[in-house]
Structures are given as C-alpha cells and as structure tokens.
Structure 1
Amino acid sequence: MADTLAVSQRSNRNRRSCRYRWKWVPSSAATLEATETKILRRVNTDYEGRFVSLGESLGRLWTVTFNPTNSEKTPFVFVHGFGAGVALWAKNIAPLCQQRPFHAFDLLGFGRSSRLKFPRDDAAVEERYIRSIERWRVEMKLDKMILVGHSFGGYLVTSYALKYPDRVKHLIPVDPWGFPDAKLPILSRAIGTVFTGRNGAVLSILRVAGPFGLDIMNKTRRDLREKYSDLFDDNTITNYIYHCNVQYPSGEKAFSTLSESLGYAKRPMINRIEEMRKDVPITFIYGRDTYSIIDPSVGEKIQEMRHDAQVEVFIIDNASHQVYADQPTKFNNVMLQICKDIQ
C-alpha cells in the first residue's frame, strides 16, 4: 500500500526522550495501476490497456479495451462518473463484451488520465471535455459508438452527441448528472456554495487527512465495498476509489466549474436536449432509489419533448445511483436489449 506512516526517531544528546515525526507517503501511479489491475483481472477476460495521446494541449486518456477483434459491430464506449474510473465497470464488462468491442477510458482529470489545469469558464471546460472525447475517437479509429455515460459521464456524452451526432449510434445516459433545471433562491444558492465545495475540491478531505484518508474512505464508503462484495471481500474497491482521488484534483475543479449550487449543473441538459438531432436514439437508465438531484422524471419529460424521436426510459428497481453495480444483471440485460439490433 502506497499510503503508509513512517516514524522517524531523532536522538537529542541533551534529552533522553525521543522525538517522532509523522511522514505521509502519498499515493503513486504504480499503486493505482496495481489496484486497477487487481479489479480488472476478476473480469476473467483478456484486455488491452494503453494511454491514448490526444496532443500536448489535452494530454492522455487511459483506455482499456475488451474483445477488440470483434470489429464488425459498433463498439461500446463507457464513460465513468465523478471521482470514478474504468475499473468500476468490472461487473458489466464480461456479459457485454461478448457481443461487441468494449472500450472504457478515464476522463481527463480522473483515474490514470492526464490531470490538466482546466479553464475557469464552464463553457470552456465542457468544450475541452468534448474535444478530448472526439480526439480519443479519432485516435482509436472508431467510426461510430454506442456511447454510455454514468452520472457526470452521462452529462458529457450527451454534450458530445449534441456536437458530433454522426459519431453516435446510440446514446445511453445512465443515472445522468446535470439534466434537471433547478430554480434556486439566493439563500439556497449561498448554502449550496458551502456544501458543494466551490474551491473545486469536494473530495479534499481525503487529501487533508493525509495518512488517515484511506481509513476514512474505507469506513465512510462501505456501501461501495458491499456493491462489489461478490468480487472482493476486502477493501479493494474503496482503495481504488481512494487512489483515484488523492492526486491533484484536476477533474474535481472542472466539475466544480460546471456545477451550480447544491450540485446542479449551470447549463442543465434538459434545456439543451431539443437541439439534439432527431435521428440520435437515446435511452435513459435510472436506479429507482437514486439521488434527488438526478431525478428520473427528467428522462420521461425528455421523452415527451422528443415525441417524434426515439427516446426510451428504463428505471431499475432496488438500485441507487450506481445502478450498474447495484443490479448488474438487470443493467446488463437492459443494455443487451437496447443494442440487440445494432450492428
């Protein structure tokens, strides 16, 4: 484990007592890689992992690919949510990659991808993310994609589809963040500023806690450990999330720039979705017990708004925000149903 407590003892000729100094050895890229590898090996499916270079201004996206040889079918491209990484798709990869290639990458500022300094303008931040996805597609030599995004990733893949509809065979936002339009009073906005961490580091407690951060993560996110208990009976998953988030908070700051008070988006997607080209099929997947700011009814509203386009909404019972991990069998079956006729 990379995060350890090292105790150094200093002698003092004038004093018999010992002086101790706590030293924090921070998370390393090697530790994150090892933890991710441990998780992905449980998939029991060969995969390729590589950094895809996007050019000097965009850095690199860490990418994993399963079943790359089945190139005749439109590939899945999975995009994780806030504070996450590619390994959290571990319960979905094996069933889905049997049907077509499966790609997943760490968003800029998260996981093992480059941690750039983002602009402070929300439109510019969103544009940089969209440009990185498009550049990644070009480098991967993909013509069209079944584009799947969870939470923050759901917001970004929808924004991408608005700009590059020709590249999206089917759009699947999963419990997507940033869709509802919250009309908040000034007092609520002020309160929200405190709780959403306008300093751009909503996970900063993990870093401030130093050597105790990992213990905090393991104790406060036992729900994540439980979601993956069929794969691991230890803290592997929470360790992975910890090491994803104790590095420079590039992605956190970008998310903060895009966020309004109380966690809503400054540019809510429900106000922009009508700009989506009508021939882009959209399927929403929600957990019945998700967070209030996600609001599954938004998917149904969009279905009404786009009555002349293909829009479907699936709500999975006994699932919260991490619907793909809470009910993986149901989620995977829905995914296969959506894509059964897509070549």
Structure 2
Amino acid sequence: MKPSLKNLFTVFFALLLITGCAAKKSGITNHSDAFVKGADISWLPQMEASGYKFYNENGVQQDCFKILKDHGVNTIRLRAFVNPSDDKFSGHCSTEETVAMALRAKKWGMRILIDLHYSDSWADPGKQKKPKAWEGHDFQLLLTDVYDYTLSVMTALKKAGVTPEWVQVGNETPGGMILPDGSTANWDKLAQLINKGYDAVKAVSPKTKVILHVDQGNNNARFRHWFDNATAHQAKFDVIGCSYYPYWLPGSPDYTLSINDLGNNLKDMASRYGKEVMVVEVGNEDKKAQNTYDMLLAVEQKVKEVPNGKGIGLVYWEPEGARNWSHYALSAWGDDGKPTKALEAFMVK
C-alpha cells in the first residue's frame, strides 16, 4: 500500500522528535555551544567558610555565583587535589569539595571544567609533586594510580548528577607531571600517564573533552616543542589549553606587548594539531582594573579570531579571590567585597 502524505509527515516529525531528544541527552552538564566566559573559583568554599562576604556593585550581599552569572560568566573551572590538607591556601579541593562545587555550578546553569592536578597540592611549572599515597610506587602501579584516581573523580561527579564538559589531565605541565616519573625528560612515560587519565575520563563520559595545559600562551616555541612531543609520543587530547598572565611577563602589566603573540600562537596550535584551543587561565593586576578589562576584551577577540570556530573561550583564574583575603594580586575583586571594572568585560557581547 502506498503511504499517504499524512503518514509520511507523521513519520518525518517523529524522527525529528527522536533525533532532537537524542541530541539533548549528551550527558554533559549544561552543555552549550556558546563562547566560554569562565571563572576558576576554587577558593570560594574556603572564603565562605572564613566568613568572607560577597557584594554586587550596589552593595547588596549575594551568592558569588549570582554575581558572576550576572557579569556574563557561563563556565566554572574547579581544581582537584588527590589527598589535600586543611591548610587555607594549599589544602581543600578534595574530590568531595569539588563535587559540591560542581553541583552548585550546575544549579546556576554553568558549564563545568575540572582541573586535575595529580598532586596533594598546587601543581604548576615550579612544582609537580607526586601525591604522598603514590610515593614509592613503580611506574606500572603509578599508571594504575592515575587511571583509578581519574575514574574515581569522574564517577563521583556522575553519581552526583554532574558530567563535566572538559577535564584537564594535569595543570600547567611544561616540564611534565607527577615528577620524576612523568617528566618531559622521558616523554614515553609522560604520554602513558596522560593517556591513562584520558582513558579514565572517556570510560565515564566519552563526550567529555580532555585538555592538556601549558603556561605562557604567548610563547609559540614553547608550545610547538611541547605539543610536537606529545603528538610524536601519541599522547591523547581534545583541546589545547594555555595560561596567559601579562603580569608575569616583561613589561608588566602591559598586555599589548604580548597579545599578538598569544593570538598567533592560538591560531598556530589550532592549525598545526587540528584541535580546539582555550585560554584556561588568564588574569592581570587587580589594582589596574581598566587595564585588565581591556586585556580581557583583547584576549577574547584573539580567541574568537582562531579560524573554523576552534577558539572556544577563556577562563579567569580566581576573579573572586580578593587580595585582602588571598594576598593574590590578580583577582577581579576589590577589598570592599565587590567585583571590579575588570569583570564587566565578560558582559560585553
């Protein structure tokens, strides 16, 4: 029997409904194709526990998440330590605390990026200390440690109802991670450690994108050397992440001396490796809020200029971490508990 036109339309719209529903079931929390305007606010639980109060521009006390959202922030980045202490600055960021923060981010409609340090405290270019519980383990056991820990964080998040859109396997790793085993002096081992983290992320959420992160995003030679080695040793990743802090560069805090180098490097990374790129850490001096505002707009423009939509966004590192609490000079918050002019850059369309 030849199907009627009505029946054909019924089948057509049913297929549209099915495929539409399938598209919505990516499993990624608050997934969006919007440009990332993010904030790493991992200090927030400690600030709140210490009694710190956050206020909007009108002096009204509000949840920090609301203030950030009202300023255009759509993504939250959270660092995670393996077995942290309770120290104010080096501690916290346990799996449990990270899950609790991710749930808050979900409630506020934020996209989520998890930054795994693979250490009990800060991991950065100056230190990549092995977690105490992993000390003395041979390399094969260390591979298992990385996989099991990554899997445990991802599983804890998923059980709580959160699946991050991105996960960093390592934080600012120009010299490697989990030293000495994962040093760039032995790329074969480093690539294996990276791949264990990658595989564990994908085992829980195949759609979550894995980021590898190197500092000095304006330094193209540094990035080519690192990612050429990563590629040659078959390290697996989906996104290239970089830090960009004009404050720590010659001519501080004048970002105009390095912003073009950042833009050129982002374009080169996307073209050379066929990956998306993101500035996963950015910041500049809090006392020069207008300069930081201008810098953020310039960074956003450089990311957006990466061809084929491969520039996906930027994340301010600890904008809420006011200097009078943190002693950190690069927040976007004043000593009055209010955001500075700098944060308004994320409101610009």
Name whichever structure is richer in strand by fraction: 1
Structures share a fold, TM > 0.5? no
Alignment TM-score, normalising by the size of structure 1? 0.32
